[in-house]
Amino acid sequence: MSKLSIFTKGFLKENPTFVLLLGLCPTLATTTTALNGVGMGLATLFVLVLSNIVISAIAPVVPDKVHIPVYIVVIATFVTILQFLMQAYTPGMYKSLGLFIPLIVVNCIVLGRAEAFASKNGILDSALDGLGIGLGFTVSLMVLGLVRELLGSGSVFGWKLFSGDGILVFVMAPGAFLVLGYLMVLFNKLAKKE
């Protein structure tokens, strides 16, 4: 597989949200606005790239029986480092993403990539894979956030497009499921045509 295709597969062919259906909890919970979606996506990207690099480096020497616990510890370490950094430098974003930052530990995308890709490939390829999947995840979250913010509060990235309240249900829990469901339908329809 070429370096380019390792990087780009995360956007369409192996899009974590719409094709692999991984990491749905943060996808649904943090996309009340486009900005929160991007924040969550980038936070996951940070952990994904670093854990992919470290895991691809240590995978050859880790005994098979304990490889899952070791990967979880590595991932949890990077998540905690991310928590410190966000608390120190982006406290607003840390507050609005809340519980879902520590929960990156159990995001199936991160452990899934470690198991399926990083443990079998070189450091550079793993880094590219993490970057591609992470950006694919970020873009999906941004799209979902954009739609929900536009319908729910009538704004885009905080810029008010029309006055009034919008359809509040889209900012609340049911809207998350509905918008994701319909975006998936759209994705299926378009992907079939290609």
Partner 1 sequence: MEFLLIIISAIFVNNIMLAQFLGTCPFIGVSGRLSTATGMSGAVCFVITLSTLVTYLINKYLLVPFGLTFLQTIAFILVIAALVQMVEIVLKKISPSLYQALGIFLPLITTNCAVLGVALNVVTKEFTFGGGPAHMLGLGEAVVYAFATSLGYGLAMVLFAGLREHLDLNDVPKPFRGVPIALVTVGILAMAFMGFSGIV
Partner 2 sequence: MVCCLGAVCLVCAALLGGVYVLTEDAIVQTNAALLRESVGSVLPAGGTLSEALPLEVGGTPSEYYVSTADGAPAGYAVKSTVSGFGGPLVLMVGLTPEGKVYGTSVLSHAETPGLGAKCTSDAAFIDQFKGFDPAVSRLAVRKDGGDVDAITASTITSRAYALAIANAVAAFQNIKGE
In angstroms, rounded to a whole number, what is the distance separating the alpha carbons of residues 144 and 58?
Answer: 36
Q: Which is nearer to partner 1, 24 or 123 (CB)?
A: 24
154-to-31, 39, 63, 103, 168 alpha-carbon distances in Å: 15, 20, 53, 29, 10
If one asks whether residue 63 binds partner 2 (CB under 8 A), the answer comes out as yes
**E strand or H helix at 143, and its extent?**
helix 123-153
- C-beta of 32 vs 56, nearer to partner 2: 32
Answer positive or negative: Cα dihedral of 100, 105, 110, 116: negative
**Does 66 sit near partner 1 (CB under 8 A)?**
no
The number of helices, as runs of H, and strands, as runs of E, in the chain is 8, 2
Applying CB under 8 A, the site for partner 2 has a residue count of 29
Phi/psi zone of residue 166: left (φ > 0), alpha (ψ -120 to 50 degrees), beta? left
Residue 177 makes contact with partner 1 by CB under 8 A: yes
Q: Which residues bind partner 1 (CB under 8 A)?
A: 21-25, 28-29, 68-69, 72-73, 76-77, 79-80, 83-84, 99, 102-103, 105-108, 111, 169, 172-178, 180-182, 184-186, 188-189, 192
Q: Which residues bind partner 2 (CB under 8 A)?
A: 32, 58, 61-63, 65-66, 69-70, 73-74, 76-77, 80-81, 84-85, 87-89, 91, 95, 152-153, 165-166, 168, 171-172
